[in-house]
Amino acid sequence: MDTKKLRQKILDLAIRGKLVPQDPSDEPASVLLERIKAEKERLIKEGKIKRSKKTAKTSDTPHYGNVPFEIPDNWEWCKLGDIVDFQGGYAYKSNTYVNQSDWQVIRIGNVKNDNLVLDTQPVFVEEVIGRETKKYLLQKDDILFTMTGTKGKRDYFYSVKVPSVKKKLLLNQRVGCLRRFSSEVNIDFLCFALKGEYVLDAIFSTETGNVSQGNIGSENTLNLNIAIPPLAEQRRIVSEIERWFSLIDIIENGKQDLQTTIKQAKNKILDLAIHGKLVPQDPNDEPASELLKRIKPKAEITCDNAHYPKVWQKTILGDIFNHNTGKALNSSNKEGIMKDYLTTSNVYWNKFDFSVIKQMPYKESELDKCTVTKGDLLVCEGGDIGRAAIWNYDFDICIQNHIHRLRPKGELCVAFYYYILLYLKENNLIGGKGIGLLGLSSNALHKIDVPLPPIEEQYRIVQKIEELFSYFDNIQKTLEA
């Protein structure tokens, strides 16, 4: 079940007047808007709010050109600026920030949908600055929205209602504030309306900015047309949305619990696999000690297999794999043939992203060391340290120096060692607590302890892992559908 789409469907029904039935005894929204208009004019005359040029002109023609949908007879279209006031933020300078005070600056990163995040990388200013900029002090039930983000990506527009907090919250630039000036506007209904799909479509149809940065303008936002129901129906709609959303929360929590269980189950499967407990040993299998002798004749054969079956061998990754990194990107080195190469941004867990493939020159003497061929195991040195994938393509490609290439020295099931790396990563035993490195050096990679089962058992283990994982992957797909 796609709960995100379900939420949008509920909002869509709500803002079209189809979520709750209309009550003929409700006062029409037209009467409500006349009172709000009169109250706004009174506040302007008293100097409590200013007449903004952004909403000075009124029109019966919706901002969208044509009314986007039909609404019930006792509803009314209005501009957003007719029912709320706009407050822009202040450009607080980073050199005025202090570690702690009662005056917190609210920036874009603090504003998420339905959640004003105050404790993630908070910034504050001294009281003297706060008092000098009290104009930008937020009030309970203000609606904040983000005004800047990546051009063309609709997911940067967040809106949230300001809760009651003890701190004094100051509005930074690039965060807009919609402030209610009339008690006859249900702020929760307005919050839900701003998350509706057609409102988002209208907002982003007016997006400005350069190639990379998009901007949401306050003028276009205030000129958005909003369908307003009678006040009593606004309250009923809010109650019904909250009822539905609470049910969806239960579903989502259940999905998260199941996803956590799936992750834990997969990790347990890997734990059993690399300790020889996932499939039974076959007495007809050649002992791993003989396999290790063929791979590395001078390898130390040990009987100390406390954590593994007797027919297995303890070894290190560097004893059974040849490993090296690729070529460092150097703009001054222009000799060689231009070749496609992989970076860590192309390598994901057992898959590759080919959306961006770069080229650089490789000398003939560098190709043997830097070329990946079918069956090689690639491991990220940095970034998501230890992230690994098997190159199973019929064409070769080169690699950059931040990728380790592991190539078996003898007969090995490479997939078995991919799953070992996955297990180590999931349990913080590579690039984390176990090794404690910022990057996975060649030396550290070489010394990673790994088991060596008989070759036949390696393949049986991988087959069983993939069989069990496929069950969980199917469940995962069902959750995401």
Q: Per-residue confidence of the chain (481 residues) as pLDDT tens digits? A: 688 889 999 999 999 999 999 999 999 999 999 999 999 999 999 988 887 665 444 444 444 446 678 999 999 999 999 999 999 999 999 899 998 999 999 998 899 887 899 987 899 999 999 999 999 999 999 999 988 887 777 777 888 999 988 889 999 998 999 999 988 889 999 999 999 888 888 888 888 887 778 888 888 888 889 999 999 999 999 999 999 999 999 888 888 888 889 999 999 999 999 999 999 999 999 999 999 999 998 877 776 667 889 999 999 999 999 999 999 887 777 789 999 999 999 999 999 999 999 999 999 999 999 999 999 999 998 778 899 999 999 999 999 999 999 999 999 999 999 999 999 999 988 864 444 445 788 999 999 999 999 999 999 999 999 999 999 988 888 776 6
Contact 315, 292 (CB under 8 A): yes
Q: Is the dihedral of CA 129, 133, 136, 138 positive or negative?
A: positive
In sequence order, the 6+-apart residues with CB closer than 8 A to the CB of 270 are: 419, 422, 423, 426, 465
In sequence order, the 6+-apart residues with CB closer than 8 A to the CB of 319 are: 292, 295, 296, 299, 409
**Tokens standing for residue 35:** 């009172």
**Tokens standing for residue 364:** 């003939």
Query: By C-alpha distance, which of 155, 158, 148 is closest to 215?
Result: 148
- The pTM for the full model equals 0.63
Rounded distance between C-alpha atoms, residue 422 and residue 380, angstroms: 12
Crossing angle of the two packed helices 231-274 and 187-194, in degrees rounded to 10: 50
Rounded (10°) CA dihedral 124, 126, 127, 130: -60
Give the 3-state secondary structure percentages of the chain, helix then strand then coil, rounded to 5. 40, 20, 40
The DSSP bridge partners found for residue 377 are: 390, 406
Rounded distance between C-alpha atoms, residue 374 and residue 379, angstroms: 15
Neighbour order of strands in the sheet with 103-106: 97-98, 123-125, 103-106, 168-171
Rounded distance between C-alpha atoms, residue 224 and residue 203, angstroms: 8
- Measured from the Cβ of residue 327, the count of other Cβ atoms closer than 10 Å reads 21
